[in-house]
Amino acid sequence: MWRYAVRAHLVRPDTADEEVELLTERLTPGLGAYVVLIVSGLFFPIIAVIGFLGIALYYIIPFRRLSARFLTVRWLRRRHRR
């Protein structure tokens, strides 16, 4: 759906190209994972449910921001100790 929106120029024109590329990059692995989970759900439904939850959490939690913040705080603490 996202790729269709980009191709059809449905994305706001004032959106930066970097933001569009970042979102496209972040959404691409999810499509393949959904296909794998749908097929595996036919044989292992519990694993599929856990996988869908994992994908949802991946999209909701900003891991890059959290890791960047954690590393910055850690670096600052180490620097102040010296």
* Alpha carbon distance 73, 54 (integer Å): 27
Residues in the chain, total = 82
Which contacts of 42-46 are long-range, i.e. CB under 8 A and separated by 24 or more positions? none
Note the pLDDT tens digit of each residue in 17-72: 888 887 777 777 777 888 999 999 999 999 999 999 988 887 787 666 655 555 55
pLDDT of residue 51: 92
Give the other-Cβ count within 10 Å of 11's Cβ. Answer: 14
* Cα Rg, the chain, nearest whole Å: 18
